Amino acid sequence: MPQRILVLLAHPVRRRSRANSALTAAARQVEGVRLHDLYEAYPDFLIDVEAEQALLLEHDVIVFQHPVYWYSSPAILKEWLDLVLEHGFAFGREGTALAGKALLSAVTAGGAEAAYGPEGMNCHSLEEFLRPFEATARLCRMRWLPPFILHGTYLLEQPALERHAAEYAALLRNLRDAVEA
């Protein structure tokens, strides 16, 4: 049975983002993927916790797709995490609703890959900046998947951007078709 995938998109100005627009278009083309734009759904940040939890229960793989903002995610994803992944639902003794589901971070960064790492201006890799999301997955008894990272988005030419979008779509298809994501 195919895995059901929920892509939680968190980009406050996606229409001005070539990279996230390309990734979003690629995700929309993958059958069985549900794309949920948090800024579109909640422009006032008044997140419907019960509706969001119901969405999580309906899916096997959860994807956080967003640009890297100040070494983390845009504000709405943090708000979503704080409200939706509550004690008793996502973690705690009785909070097992997400146990066994997979979590993937799909992130874009304007800076080149060389800017991330011990020798780069950011001193740490993007994988290191994603550690709080990995810890969240573990707290919720989810399986953390290796992140999909797109570096250097400001400098990407259209053919390269299209190639990365195709790689993202292929990853989503592979996750969908995996017996266990």
pLDDT tens for the chain, residues 1 to 181: 789 999 999 999 877 889 999 999 999 999 999 999 999 999 999 999 999 999 999 999 999 999 998 888 999 999 999 999 999 999 999 999 999 999 999 999 988 777 888 887 888 788 989 999 999 999 999 999 999 999 888 888 999 999 999 999 999 999 999 865 5
Q: Is residue 113 part of a domain?
A: yes
Which domain does 73 fall in, by range? 5-176
Q: Is residue 150 part of a domain?
A: yes
Model confidence, pTM: 0.94
Q: Is residue 45 part of a domain?
A: yes
Task: Give the Cα separation of 85 and 46 in Å (integer).
Answer: 15
User: Of 177, 104, 107, nearest to 136 (Cα)?
Assistant: 104
Task: Give the Cα separation of 176 and 178 in Å (integer).
Answer: 6
Give the number of domains in the chain. Answer: 1
What pLDDT was estimated at residue 180?
Answer: 58
Q: Is residue 76 part of a domain?
A: yes
